[in-house]
Structure 1
Amino acid sequence: MELKTPLYEAHVKAGGKIVPFGGYLLPVQYKEGVIKEHMAVRTQAGLFDVSHMGEILCQGKDALANLQMMLTNNFDNLTDGQARYSPMCNEQGGTVDDLIVYKKGEEDYFIVVNAANKDKDYQWMLDHQFGEVTFTDVSDQYAQLALQGPKAMEILRKLAPEENIPKKYYHAVFDTEAAGIPCIISKTGYTGEDGVEIYLDSARAQEMWDALLEAGKEEGLIPCGLGARDTLRMEAAMPLYGHEMDEQVTPLEAGLGFAVKMTKEDFIGKKALEEKGEPARKRIGLTVTGRGIIREHQDVYLGDRLIGHTTSGTHCPYLGCPVAMALVDADCTEPGTKVEADVRGRRVEAQIVPLPFYKRSK
């Protein structure tokens, strides 16, 4: 049975079209529709309920040593309040999940994992923990709201003084408040835009949701659903677990080498990645030059040669064209290369382009 986030009633009241996602009932869109929501985030601001995401605490004398062994990125130089993205690999080098780790203090870390993988990730951590460390699943205690878009910070400043707001990307302020509500404010997001993600007590989620929407009225802030979240992350070429990566796809194949520190002494999956050597396939971007939209799980051809398959694809409202991401043979990744995708038995022309498709101007 699907769970409801603390904001379920607010979504229904606002006309949200509810669908099951990651074990939760969430709005895929509101009355304005995906395109309006997408454009609001690109040009003004949008508010997302991402309370389905999971939160896990990692605490104790050996907390850092555990993170260093379980995750591919390096955490020994993290400062208090800083966040870092990392894949988590299995022994074969495949991806268990991708997640974000925040350092709250010495021996105290806050980990955010994907909704559908929360239980799997938590069990993985418990199965691989060692020494003096405690992993605690605190997901039920937290709601998470994402305020995203070029006007997001302007809106937030109406509800929180400057010292409560993180200055840099991938940094958070713990034990702070906005709209008089205790919370964590993190300068992160999954849209390719400026903005924050706010973690707070589930019981006060509705209060924060209403306060943000009220504060953002003049700036055109609107609630946004899963549909826009997906089209926005696609334009920004942000990988989604279960699409661009999974237990069979390594972070290096998925283009996440920046978060895989092979110089680290060791981590789960390091040996397998070393033995595999240079990835035989890589994630690429495609813009559709033919007629049609290319979705996921569609074969990609270079002439008569099958070179891989698409992992995600959609029409991007801001760019005004259909795009896709694909995993293809490493020798077929040159930008400008013309390829074709098999869409239900019909070949649709596309061209390989550099990622990301969209990058906001600073």
Structure 2
Amino acid sequence: MTQTPDPVLKRTPLHAAHLRAGARMVPFGGWEMPVQYAGLKAEHDAVRTGAGMFDVSHMGEFRVTGPGALAFLQHVTTNDVSKLRPGRAGYNWLPGVAGGLVDDIYIYMAAPETYLMVVNAGNIAKDWAHLQAQVGGYDVTLTDESGTTALIAVQGPKAAETLQPFTDTDLGAKKKNAYFAAKLFDFDVHLARTGYTGEDGFEVFVDASEAETLWDKLLAVGIVPAGLGARDTLRLEAGFPLYGHEFGDDIHPLSSHYGWVVKDKAHLGREHLQQPAAHRLIGLRLERVPVREGYPVKVDGQVVGRVTSGTTSPTLGHPIALALVDADAANAETYAVEVRGKDHPATRMAVPFYVSGK
């Protein structure tokens, strides 16, 4: 029997830095990524109370330019890109031709007729093919900058004050979703007041060739490196959906609590989003037993859905989960989650599970 070789994992420009820091590396979406350094809880707590940083260089970056850039983006997304102004960013969706989502994305307006789209790492090739298939008829140029761009997310309530001495820009004057050029440790970067943790922070776009030196400088001023493990517990506490779990090609995106992303405009796949969602995404709390993706969710002994993401919340101290359930079961008083053949009680919990500063 011939054994199929493991696919070669891609590495970010910060791979050597992660190894020096003793990170435990794991496969993730075709990449070799750090899952943790000192430990998940310590990294999670650093972001909740101070400042931590993540290597998110595996994400994809597409430049969209030209006189038809806005019209093209309005066609392929659900949110209203015309509301963006230079120096502003917004969350958005790429709806599928036949329903579901191709991806959930962020769009940054750099200048008139110039936008940057950041897409999920595992979807880079799929998203690029999808956009290329839709570009005909628009006066627009698409450029894949994923291989030359590194991205570091500095997150936490002390992110701004920690970065401020090392930049030429007044970070306190920048509102959420700001996107701007700056100097950081004498590097030319772009900063975005965005993130995926439920905390304040800045995502740092830097040339891939300079990323490792910049990472080391951020380490030297006390910013704690954090891995995929903490990134997942932080985003789940904040109630942020993750593509491949809460979103996908075969999941109606309006099952989620993100209906605000769909604006009343003409766009690709609109007719599918106008169909009612047969399921709802809900939050669950358990007392002791953590649950994982795929575990059955029950009401009165009957399976009504499945867990899409679950963990033990380091901040709250008990298990939490997002679950996709039948729409008519979304308001039940009590639920159970089946774990290894045994049902464990669960109660509905408002999402987000945790709000920073409250």
Bin of the TM-score, shorter chain as denominator length: over 0.9
CA shift at 1:254, angstroms?
Answer: 2.3
| Contact 1:166–1:185 (8 Å) recurs in 2 | no
Kindly indicate whether residue 302 of structure 2 is the aligned counterpart of residue 300 of structure 1.
Answer: no
Q: For residue 140 of structure 1, give the secondary structure of its aligned residue in structure 2.
A: coil
| Contact 1:93–1:269 (8 Å) recurs in 2 | yes
Note closer, same or farther for the CA distance 1:9–1:285 as it changes in structure 2 (3 Å cut).
Answer: same
| Contact 1:68–1:74 (8 Å) recurs in 2 | yes
| Counterpart selection for 2:346 from 335, 350, 356 | 350
| Contact 2:293–2:308 (8 Å) recurs in 1 | yes
Per the normalisation by structure 2, the TM-score is 0.95
CA shift at 1:166, angstroms?
Answer: 6.2
Q: For residue 166 of structure 2, give the secondary structure of its aligned residue in structure 1.
A: coil
Q: Distance in 1 between matches of 2:273 and 2:21?
A: 47
CA shift at 1:164, angstroms?
Answer: 6.4
| Counterpart selection for 2:278 from 280, 284, 300 | 280
Per the normalisation by structure 1, the TM-score is 0.94
Identity of aligned residues (%): 43
Q: Spell out, residue by residue over 1:21-61, the C-alpha distance to the aligned partner (whole angstroms, 9 max, x if none).
A: 1211111101x200110011111111111110000011111
Q: Distance in 2 between matches of 1:238 and 1:331?
A: 23
CA shift at 1:177, angstroms?
Answer: 1.5
CA shift at 1:338, angstroms?
Answer: 1.1
Query: What residue ranges of structure 2 are gaps of 5+ in the alignment?
Result: 1-7
CA shift at 1:145, angstroms?
Answer: 0.4
| Contact 2:169–2:183 (8 Å) recurs in 1 | no
The code of the aligned residue for 1:252 comes to L
Q: How many residues align?
A: 350
Q: Distance in 2 between matches of 1:106 and 1:2?
A: 37
| Counterpart selection for 1:232 from 231, 234, 258 | 234
Cross-structure match for 2:144: 137
CA shift at 1:333, angstroms?
Answer: 2.4
Query: What residue ranges of structure 1 are gaps of 5+ in the alignment?
Result: none
Cross-structure match for 1:270: 270
Note closer, same or farther for the CA distance 1:183–1:164 as it changes in structure 2 (3 Å cut).
Answer: farther
Note closer, same or farther for the CA distance 1:168–1:194 as it changes in structure 2 (3 Å cut).
Answer: same
| Contact 2:164–2:170 (8 Å) recurs in 1 | no
Q: Distance in 2 between matches of 1:271 and 1:59?
A: 28
Kindly indicate whether residue 157 of structure 2 is the aligned counterpart of residue 159 of structure 1.
Answer: no
Task: Out of 107-116 and 157-166, give the one that drifted further.
Answer: 157-166
1:246-261 matches, within 5 Å, as: 246-261=248-263
Q: Distance in 2 between matches of 1:212 and 1:300?
A: 43
Q: Spell out, residue by residue over 1:251-287, the C-alpha distance to the aligned partner (whole angstroms, 9 max, x if none).
A: 21122211011x11x111111222x13x221111001
CA shift at 1:241, angstroms?
Answer: 0.3
Q: For residue 254 of structure 2, give the secondary structure of its aligned residue in structure 1.
A: coil
Note closer, same or farther for the CA distance 1:54–1:288 as it changes in structure 2 (3 Å cut).
Answer: same
Kindly indicate whether residue 321 of structure 2 is the aligned counterpart of residue 324 of structure 1.
Answer: yes
CA shift at 1:342, angstroms?
Answer: 1.2
Q: Distance in 2 between matches of 1:312 and 1:77?
A: 32
Q: Distance in 2 between matches of 1:283 and 1:159?
A: 42
Cross-structure match for 2:5: none
1:1-362 matches, within 5 Å, as: 1-30=8-37, 32-130=38-136, 131-163=138-170, 167-174=174-181, 176-215=182-221, 217=222, 221-261=223-263, 263-264=264-265, 266-274=266-274, 276-277=275-276, 279-289=277-287, 291-334=288-331, 337-361=333-357
Q: For residue 194 of structure 2, give the secondary structure of its aligned residue in structure 1.
A: coil
Q: For residue 293 of structure 1, give the secondary structure of its aligned residue in structure 2.
A: coil
| Contact 1:294–1:322 (8 Å) recurs in 2 | yes
Q: Distance in 1 between matches of 2:169 and 2:58?
A: 28
Give the ranges of 4+ consecutive aligned residues of structure 1 lying more than 4 Å apart after TM superposition: none
| Contact 1:338–1:349 (8 Å) recurs in 2 | yes
CA shift at 1:161, angstroms?
Answer: 2.8
CA shift at 1:305, angstroms?
Answer: 2.5
| Contact 1:166–1:172 (8 Å) recurs in 2 | no
CA shift at 1:320, angstroms?
Answer: 0.7
| Contact 1:166–1:187 (8 Å) recurs in 2 | no
